[in-house]
Amino acid sequence: MDTTVYVPSGPTPGTPPPTGGVASSARGLTKVYGQGAAAVRALDGVDVDFAAGAFTAIMGPSGSGKSTLMHLLAGLDQATSGEAVLGTTRLSTLDDGALTRLRRDRVGFVFQSFNLLPMFTAEANILLPLELAGARPDAAWLDTLVDTLGLRQRLTHRPSELSGGQQQRVAIARALIAKPDVVFADEPTGNLDSRSGAEVLSFLRRSVRELGRTVIMVTHDPTAAAYADRVVLLADGRIAGDIADPTPDAVLAGLDALRTLETTSEPAVTA
């Protein structure tokens, strides 16, 4: 097994946030849940940059802080210390109103559980973010998404009339409709069979390669991660590896190296 793919990653701590070509970044990003003896250090000084126009996968053991990292980067939750930066916007400088607008206008989300509104058609679900923002749909962009995602014949269907894979494609179109700076996807294939999962992953990749979007995806599946341009590994709330142009084998080797690390490191629980 080629272990040279496993290298420590991330910018030098203290490096100022970047100004160009980076869609999302973290500097010293730390999140502690709870207090006192029950405190959990879910993220511990994470420094990482995610390139614009790239598809990045985040992997790591359960509880390693993947969802927490995405939530902080997307402005869904606040850091305990350190900084989450979207483009050049430091999220800690924003008040509640500005954060709400940032989440609405500059960030898209795809969740494992689809989160579609059951009474709405596929088309209405896709257009919902624009509806909420009072913005008009860009008809050409809607067409591009619908065709790229193979949803043309499904636009008038309600979620209950769609397969899991189709529902997740609707959720992806909804995440992309407002052309957000970054789409965050947390285990988007976790509830899908392998064929639907492969469809969703190739659509995510196409949205990056052909539509110029930026996607950051959490996954547990090395095959899914291999669709990405890069895999960032997390362990115990810290960046633990970085793999460029991942293959499933390279990802497995990186995860194996993590397991070795884990057996020699402290648990991520702090007093």
Report how many residues bind Mg ion under the rule CB under 5 A: 1
The option from Mg ion, ligand ATP, none interacting with 33 (CB < 5 to 8 A, set by class) reads ligand ATP
What length is written for the chain? 271
| C-alpha span between 184 and 56 (Å, rounded) | 10
Torsion angle of C-alpha atoms 78, 83, 85, 89, degrees rounded to 10? 90
φ, ψ of residue 202 in degrees (nearest 5): -70, -30
Chain-centre distance for alpha carbon 41: 20
Closest listed residue to residue 50, CA positions, set 187, 172, 185: 185
Count Cα atoms within 13 angstroms, Cβ side, for 98. 8
Q: How far is the CB of 267 from ligand ATP (least distance, A)?
A: 9
Interaction pattern, residues 198-237, with ligand ATP; x per rule: CB under 6 A:
----------------------------------------
Cα(90)–Cα(56) distance, rounded to whole angstroms?
21
Strands 182-186 and 107-111: parallel
Closest to 103 (Cα-Cα) out of 66, 81, 71, 125: 71
- Span of 61-69, 125-133, 136-144, 244-252 interacting with Mg ion by CB under 5 A: 61-69
Read off the amino acid at residue 221. D
Residue placing its CB nearer to ligand ATP in the complex, 24 or 68: 68
* Interface stretch with Mg ion, choices 67-75, 129-137, 154-162, 236-244 (CB under 5 A): 67-75
User: Considering beta carbons, is residue 126 or 216 the nearer one to ligand ATP?
Assistant: 216
CA angle 119, 131, 159 (to 5 degrees): 25
- Interface residue with ligand ATP, options 3, 33, 115, 259 (CB under 6 A): 33
User: 73 vs 146, which CB is nearer to ligand ATP?
Assistant: 73
Closest chain position to Mg ion (CB): 67
Q: In whole angstroms, how close is the CB of 67 to Mg ion at the nearest point? A: 3
Task: Give me the residues paired with residue 107 across strands.
Answer: 182
Cβ neighbours, 10 Å, residue 128: 16
Contact set for ligand ATP, span 60-89 (CB under 6 A): 60, 62-68
Q: How far is the CB of 88 from Mg ion (least distance, A)?
A: 27
**Which of 56, 67, 189, 219 contacts Mg ion by CB under 5 A?**
67
Question: C-beta of 43: minimal distance to Mg ion in Å?
Answer: 12
Residue 233 touches which member of ligand ATP, Mg ion, none, C-beta under 5-8 Å by kind: none
Q: Which residues of the chain form contacts with Mg ion (CB under 5 A)?
A: 67
Chain residues binding ligand ATP by CB under 6 A are 33-34, 40, 42, 60, 62-68
